[in-house]
Each structure stands twice: as C-alpha cells, then as structure tokens.
Structure 1
Amino acid sequence: MDFTECYADSCSAVALAARDGKSRRVQKLIRRGFAVDVKDNRGWNALHEAAAAGTAGCVRLLIPAAVNCEDYVNTLTHNSETPLYFAAKYGHLRAVKWLIKAGADINRKTNDLSCPLYAAVDGGHKDVIELLVRNGAEVNGTYSLSGWSCLHQAVYKGHIEIVRYLVSLCTLEAVDDYGITPLFVAAQYGHHQCLDILANAGANVNCQANDLATPLLIAAQEGHEQCVECLLAHGADPNLYCNEYCWQLPILAAAQFNRLSILEKLISVTKRECDRGEGKVSPVYLAVLGGHADSLRALLQKGYSPDAQSCPQFGYSCPLEMALWTWLDASWNLNSECHQAQEITLILLAAGAHVNTSIYGFTLQGHVPEHLPLILKHAGLPQGDRLRELIDRALTEVKDASFWLPLLLKAGLDPMLLLQDKLLEEAGNDALNFFLEFVNWKTLPSEMLQILAHRRAEGTWTPRKHFESVPVLAHLCRLAVGAHVGSDTLSKPSFIQLLPIPSLLQDYLHFSDVSGLLT
C-alpha cells in the first residue's frame, strides 16, 4: 500500500476525486498508477468516499482497480464501516447495487453494532432496504448497543411505510436488552400509525418490559393520547399491573404527569380496586405527588376518594398528609410549587378529606404557619378520643405553644383541657401568660400554683401584674358563660351575636382583649 501521498489534504487524490464525483479524473489517476486503497486518518479510502457521496460511477471504476476486488469492497474504516454501510446509510441505491454485485458483505457490523440494513432503516431509505433484503440481509438481527432490531429502529424513527414493509418479515415480539418490543417503542414515542400497523399484524399490545411496564403505561406517561386510544381499541388491558409490587397502573402515570384527556379515558376503564384496595395505590396520590390540581379534580369528580388508602409505598397515611409534606418541601426550597401544594391541599379539604391525629400533630409544629389554621377552618377540632389525642400531641410540642395555643383556643378548645403540669412547667414565658388569661389564675390547684411559684423564683416566668390580683368580675363572668355553653360554642361569632348584650361585651366574650397579646 502506497502512503506517499496520504494526508496531503486529509485524504488521497483519488479519494478527493471520488468524493466530488469526478469520474474522469478518477479514471485518469488510476491509469497513472495512483493507488485506490490509500486511507486517511479515519481509515477511509477512495471507495468509502465514493459510496458515502453516492457517486456510483466512481464506485464502478474503483472496484476493479483494486489488487483484490473482494477484499477492497469490504475494506473497513477505523470504526469497522464498509463502503456498503455508507451507501446504505445515505440511501445511494445505485452505489449499493454495484457494491453488492462486487461481493460486499451485506451483514457486516460496525463497531457500534450497526449494519447496512440498520443504517438504511435509520435513514428511511425504503428502496435500499428492499434491495438489501432481496440480497440476503438479516432482518431479525440485533443491532445498536441496546440490542434493537431493524423493526425497533423503523418504529422509533416513525418510518411508516418501512414499518409496513418490515412487519411481514421481522419478528414482531423481538426484544432489546430491556425487554422492549417494537410496539412498545411506538407507544413510547407517540407513533400511533406504526403502533396500529404492528397491532394489526398481531403484535402483543399487552407486552411487558423487564420492569413490567406496558405500552399503555408508557403512552399514558408520555401523553400520547392517540396511542392510548389505539391500544385500548386493540384490547390493551388498563388493569394490568406494571410493576412487581402490583400497584402501578396506566391511570397512575396519567395522574402523575397530568395527562388530563388520557386520565379521563382511563378512569372509565380502570377498576376501582386501586382507589381503596389494600396494598394498592390510588391515582389520587399520584395527582398530589405531581402537584396537578386538574387531575385531582377529575378523579374526585368521578368518585375517587380524597382519603384513599394508607400508602406505605410513598410513606404517607393519606393524600392530605402527602399534600402537606409537599407544601412544606416547597416552602423550604422557596420554589413555585408552594402555590400548587396549597391548591392541592384546599381541594382535598373541600372534598372532605379526613384529618387524622398525625396530621393535626404535624401541623402543630408550625413548619408551615398556614397549615394549622387551614386544617382548623375546614375540619375544626376533633371529637372524643381524637380530641384527647390532639391534647396529648400538643403537650409534646410545648416548645411551639406560642404558635398553636392561640389557634386552638380560637377554634374553640376548652382551655381547661390544657391545664396540665407539663404546659405550666415547659411553656415559654409569653405563651404561659397568654394561657393564664383564659383561666381563673387564682383558683388553680395548689400543686400548679407551686409550679408557677418555682418558675417565678427561677426567673423562667415573669407574671403579668394583674395576675397578683383577683380576676375582675367581667372575666369571671365570661369564664362562667364558657363553662355553661362550652368553649366550642362560645368561639363562634354567630352564637355571640345572638346574645342580648352590647357589641363591646360580645367582643369581650370572644376574648378579643387578649387575642393580640401573643404574637
């Protein structure tokens, strides 16, 4: 091999002429003894250049000019590409014909595991594909680093006519390294016409990848509505679980990614077992997780529960808890999702979401100040044993009493329920003084008075001056009214407004004189 002129202009004179399609110059150079097999720094020779450029006349001249025609026609670049590979890749039919006639290896793979047929499919060159197939190209080989077939690639590129041609030749259920079939690829990339061709040819619409994902799941996730419609029309099962734990469904993907029109289609065909079934996950959770109010409303309007089931898969007891934590995360990160989380929370509460003890306890901490007022506004205080649980939880959060105390009292909590040693011992100075305004500080049990005296001596509590005196008659009267009608009733402005007393006294009964003392 003659290297004397190699790299003069990155390739030999013959290669330059072949690249430009100058057949006469190529012929003259050959007659003058110029070598046709000189390679450039990519490993390309003149035949590679002619094949890639589609200069069929040059291809015809170069092949017989080589010392060994068969070796020459199959010369490899540094990436193991043959001249036939380039001709097929760029759709040069005449060049392909000359190379095949000269004995080109039709199934030779490149370093990246492509081949002439795969390259032609990628480029959408149907006439070249048909020629290669007629001459023995392997249509069911695996190519590319992930093991795709030619049919995978045709579908991926959306080459409808090529898909139509290949379905009668290729294995429809060929899978890549991830267990993905060509039909799955069509669903993933939204090529509904290709999907329809494959389904009509008998491809399995309920095939599952290695991770058990189905075409319907991926189409719903990616928002390909026409693919979803096509799959359902061909019998795709919307209730086929798409993960090993048997809870993932296409409707969950639609809810999570806010594919509203797809969600509405799937609601009508998905079994309601996912809504409240043990071990399952309601799509309500996924709408909350994605922060998609529209999807959440659609689900609730169609009868899905705002409570759903406990969801250990995500670590939440109910959708409302997930919404509150999402709101907290958004507020910590100072991002725009805070408003979305607030809207989601309001939707759930308006739909009647149950507020359990853990949610009350979470909101008592005041990480997001809006949480507790919102919960109390929509759900009020719990009743019975749950109220006792709330009191116990509140007393474990005494350090935050300055936050939750005025809110609970305003919501109608009987202050006597909080009159416990723990509150008197651990509440901050301001919170303690605020609380004492709601009781008769002179008639406290002796042991509680001792606690206050001890704190005063330690300097951890400084009482307000009027705590040294007997409470005024007006204060004793409102305590008596509260004891008679109940703190919950007394907290309602509508009830106080019905009492035959001056408006000033109405405000006093509502403890307006102390409501602003704790800020």
Structure 2
Amino acid sequence: MAALRSPQQPSSAPRRLGMDFSGCYEDSVSVVAAAARGGYRRQLRRLIRQGRRIHRADNRGWRALHEAAAAGRVGCLKEILSAAAMSAGSSATFQAYVNSSTHEGESACYLAAGRGHLNAVRLLLRASANIDQLTNDRSSPLYAAVSDGHKDVVQLLLAKGAEVNRSHTASCWTCLHQAVYQDHVDIVRILVRTADLEPRDDYKITPLFLAAQYGRRECLEVLVDAGANVNTQASDLASPLLLASQEGHLACVDFLLEHGADANLACSGDWPQLPIHAAAQFGHLGVLRRLVAVTDRACDRGEDAVSPLYLAVHGCQVASVELLLDEGFSPDGQDCTALVCQHSPLSLALERGYSEAAGMLLTAGAAVLEMEWEPVFARDDADMLKLLLDHRWLYPPRLSGDEAGRRSKTALKMEEFDDMLSVALDHLKFAASWLPLLLKAGLEPESLLDCSVCVQADGELVNFLLQFDNWSTMAPYLRAILCQRRAEETWRPLPQFDSVPDLSHLCRLRVRTVIGPDVVMRKGVVQRLPVPPRLRDFLQFNDIEMPDV
C-alpha cells in the first residue's frame, strides 16, 4: 500500500475527532474507505449523503466495502451495503459490488473470514456474498478461516453450505490439509464430519501425511478415529509412518503402529525403503528402537533389500550404527551396488571418511575385501588405513596374552590380505602414505616385491623395499628386471646392494622370522626383548627413512 498523503481539504470542511474526511487520497484509500476502516459510522454516513463514492478503489483494488469487512466494522459495513443497494439499478449490480475483488482477488467475505470477523461474514452472506468465491491463488473464505483458526467462522460457513472439499492453492490442498498443517485440532474435528478424509494434493499427500510429518499427534488421532487410511501412499510411495519416522515423531510413530501402520510397506519405487531406513538415516534413536521390533529382518541381509546400516552410515549417524549393531544387524549388510551403488556399509564409511562408524563396523567383524580397500589406498591420506590397522592384524597373533586379546583385534583372513595387497599395488603413486604404515604393522616386504613393483615403481620406492629384505637372495627373475632397469638408468641402486648384507641386518631379519614381522614391529613386544635399548629401534627398522616418492 502506498504511503498516505495529506488530503486536500476545502476551507469549509468540518473536522470531527481530529480527522478530515472531506478529501480523497490521490493514490491510496479514499476518505470513505478511511472512515470505514476506522469504524467512524456517522462520518461515513455523512460522506455517503454528500455523494462520496463507495465504489472508488485504491491502488490495491480495495474499496470501502473491503476496508470495513477486513476491519470487522459491522456498522460501517451496513451503511455501505445499504448505500450500494440504493444506488444499484438491479440485484445483479448490487451482488457484483458485494462480490467485487481486490487486485489479489480477495472479496469482502474472504477478508472478513480470514480475520475472524463472524458478524461481518454473517452480514455479507445475508447480502448474497458468494460463499465460495476464490482469490487469485485459489483460496476461499472457508480456507482463509481454517488457515487462521477461526472456529466460529468455519462453523458458520459450513452451515451456510461452503464447499469443504475444494482444492486450494498451487499445491491443491483442501481445508482439511490446511487445518492439520496449522494444528487447529478443533477445526479438524469439525471438518472430518463432512469432509473427504482422503483428499490428495499434487503429490497425492493426504491430511494424514501432514499430521505424521509435522508431529500433529492430536490431529492424527482425530483423522484415524474418523476412518483415515494409515497406510496410504504418496506419488513417490512414501507412507505416513515413513514421514513420521524421518522427522522423529515418536508419539506419532507409536500411534500409527498401534492402529495398523505397516512397518514393512515399501516406500520407494527405486529400492524397498522402509520407515526403519529413515529413522536410521536421521538418527532418531527412539523411533529406530521402536521400528527394529516390528521390521522384518529380511531387510538386513535379504537380496533386493538394503540394510538400514547403509542409511545410518550415509547420514553419519554413529548412534544409529551402534544401535543396529547391538540389535544384531550384520555389519556386512548385503552387496547393494545395483540398488544404491555401495558394496557394503564399511565401504561407504571408508569412502566418506567416517572413521567412527567404520571403527564400529570393524569391531563388529565387518569383512574387509577388495571394494573396502579401494578408498583406503586410492588417496594420499593414511587415516583410514590407520583405522583399519587399529582393528586388524596383518597376520594371526603369535604371542598369547598380548594386546590382541585385550582389544578384540582380529587378523585379516587370507582373502582379505590378498585383496589388500592387490589394491595397494594398483595405487603405487600413493605408496608414500600407506607403505610405511604397512611395514610398521609387520608386512613382509616380499609380499610387495613382485614383477609389477620392480617394473613400475619409482626407483626410490624399490630401494626402500629392498632395505627391508635380504637383497642378496632375491629371486632371479626379479634381479633380472632390476638389472635391466639399471642398464636403462631408470633405477639407481643404493651402494650396499652391490655387496652381501652386513651381519647386523641379517640378524634382525632372522629375529623377524623367528618372532614374526608383525610382532617385532609392536613397541610393546620389542621393549621386552633381552637386547640393549639401542638395538630395539634397529630391530624395528627405524634407521630406514621413507623416500619422498
């Protein structure tokens, strides 16, 4: 609305109550409309008798009729309607004025209803106002009264025959949708007596969905008691139980389950998503615990299913991961590459760098196969490898009663170990990140010194690996490869490689063989060996520096 300007006033214009109604605002409300808005009935009557026009609209399309209705000025409204009836040449002309709209398409009845002015609405209906007249955005007087919670106006409009099931707004909501959304429980109780309980908006969402999604527990009860379907589904197959679970409304989840909601109803066309998946993804532990008890465990390992652990990891919900594992869900889930492009919950956690979730899965015994190793070695970051080595021995522990038992740390299976080496060798360019960790964890250098490494690896990396081994006993075919590289000047050996290793190096290799390479590399073990302190670092190869490869 434009700013009010000082009205032009003739010198003879009388003043009443400190206001001047003799002129018109040039680009805004007329003096007649201003009097109607303020409720100055006698001044309004005088202005009308002076011939002031009640039909004049301001820059919003508002007339005196709209001002009086919006402000609930029933006395002024009566004066305006009486004047309109006297000046109209026919009943059609009078009704056209009563139902005239602002630029937004708002009728006087709509404005009065939306503001809860019961008597004004009643007066306008007596004057044959269109009870179902729509605004530009397809709202109606009933919808406006419902939206703002005016129970008495709603009752009046329904008693006078207002259409209760009409679709309003761009999203096609009905009055029942809006009443539930606004949590006007008393109005919902009124509407369910006559309204369709299953109207659908443009996404096929019924009012029950809104009650579940927004936690309108009382509205939910009213709708269900009236007969609304608790297992209705939207266009994307979502159910009310899924939405309540997603939003964490435990009271609504409990109510829906108690009244027949199906926790195993597939809620997606892409993959069989269940409410438990939504609760796990968003970390709603109370809801998740409730759904675990009623969800078919086929979702855990079954084919063409997705374990809730995937969603818990995807949402970085560590507490959800912990709860599901405690409830017996498999840490491996099932291979869901075809459904959600993930091989296992652990591979997802490692790929995203979610160390806490990955640690829980590893502690629970998750398998570490080729797809799990891929994100560990395919980056210039050793944090995930450190995590894995904190939970897995490279080889079965050789000492009884060591820290393996205290930490429930298990050894890699043969298949897991082979997959690790295969993936590591495919990512030699990141060896500076992962190789020192593997060697400190006790990896046998011979495991890496194969043809591909001797042919492809950087010369410094080859030299580094050879220092952990007895280079004089290298396999002839590997020696031949290195001799060729030396001739081609793609590898320059360290000086000591041209002679037999010294006795100290051979001795530490023998100690590693006897005790076990992974055992020697553990500080707690080497500290207990009966050797001088200076030899302990030597036994752990701390004299060998990692090259910058």
Q: TM-score, normalised by structure 2?
A: 0.86
Q: 1:322 aligns with which of 348, 360, 382?
A: 348
- Counterpart of 1:16 in structure 2 is 34
Aligned partners of 1:402 and 1:430 also within 8 Å: no
- Counterpart of 1:120 in structure 2 is 145
Give the CA deviation at 1:385: 4.5
- Counterpart of 1:412 in structure 2 is 442
SS of 2:110's partner is: helix
Q: Does 1:342 align with 2:355?
A: yes
Q: Deviations over 1:23-45 (max 9, x none)?
A: 10111111111111111111111
SS of 1:120's partner is: helix
- Counterpart of 2:509 in structure 1 is 479
Evaluate the alpha carbon distance shift between residue 98 and residue 388 of structure 1 in structure 2; reply closer, same or farther with a 3 A threshold. Answer: closer
Q: Does 1:61 align with 2:79?
A: yes
The 2-side partners of 1:94 and 1:403 are apart by 79
Evaluate the alpha carbon distance shift between residue 446 and residue 225 of structure 1 in structure 2; reply closer, same or farther with a 3 A threshold. Answer: closer
SS of 1:241's partner is: coil
The 2-side partners of 1:456 and 1:431 are apart by 14
The 2-side partners of 1:383 and 1:434 are apart by 27
Give the CA deviation at 1:141: 1.2
Give the CA deviation at 1:227: 1.5
Give the CA deviation at 1:484: 5.5
- Counterpart of 1:451 in structure 2 is 481
- Counterpart of 2:217 in structure 1 is 192
* Farther-moved stretch of structure 1 (489-498 vs 426-435): 489-498
Q: Which amino acid aligns with 1:308?
A: G
- Counterpart of 1:207 in structure 2 is 232
Q: Which amino acid aligns with 1:125?
A: H
- Counterpart of 1:29 in structure 2 is 47
Q: Which amino acid aligns with 1:61?
A: E
The 2-side partners of 1:222 and 1:469 are apart by 71
Q: 2:496 aligns with which of 466, 472, 483?
A: 466
Aligned partners of 2:368 and 2:416 also within 8 Å: no
The 1-side partners of 2:219 and 2:324 are apart by 31
The 1-side partners of 2:271 and 2:42 are apart by 69
The 1-side partners of 2:76 and 2:27 are apart by 19
Q: Which amino acid aligns with 2:258?
A: A
The 2-side partners of 1:148 and 1:479 are apart by 78
- Counterpart of 1:424 in structure 2 is 454
Q: Does 1:398 align with 2:411?
A: no
The 2-side partners of 1:163 and 1:377 are apart by 58
Give the CA deviation at 1:217: 0.8
The 2-side partners of 1:154 and 1:283 are apart by 34
Q: Which amino acid aligns with 1:343?
A: E
Q: Deviations over 1:245-294 (max 9, x none)?
A: 45211111111111111111111111111111111111111111111111
Q: Deviations over 1:32-83 (max 9, x none)?
A: 1111111111111110110001000111111121123222111122222111
- Counterpart of 1:89 in structure 2 is 114
The 2-side partners of 1:488 and 1:115 are apart by 78
The 1-side partners of 2:448 and 2:413 are apart by 15
Aligned partners of 1:140 and 1:170 also within 8 Å: yes
Q: Does 1:371 align with 2:371?
A: no
Q: 1:46 aligns with which of 64, 68, 77?
A: 64
Matches within 5 A, 1:90-239: 90-239=115-264
- Counterpart of 1:333 in structure 2 is none
Give the CA deviation at 1:311: 1.8
Q: Which amino acid aligns with 1:64?
A: S
Note the aligned Cα RMSD (angstroms). Answer: 2.2
- Counterpart of 1:442 in structure 2 is 472
SS of 2:320's partner is: helix
Q: Which amino acid aligns with 2:350?
A: L
* Farther-moved stretch of structure 1 (501-510 vs 217-226): 501-510
The 2-side partners of 1:124 and 1:259 are apart by 31
Q: Deviations over 1:157-216 (max 9, x none)?
A: 111111111111101011111111111111111111111111111111111111111111
Give the CA deviation at 1:95: 0.7
Evaluate the alpha carbon distance shift between residue 282 and residue 316 of structure 1 in structure 2; reply closer, same or farther with a 3 A threshold. Answer: same
Q: Does 1:250 align with 2:275?
A: yes
- Counterpart of 2:418 in structure 1 is 388
SS of 1:442's partner is: helix
In structure 2, the gaps of 5 or more residues are 1-21, 395-411
Give the CA deviation at 1:462: 3.1
The 2-side partners of 1:299 and 1:101 are apart by 64
Q: How high is the sequence identity, in percent, across the aligned residues?
A: 49
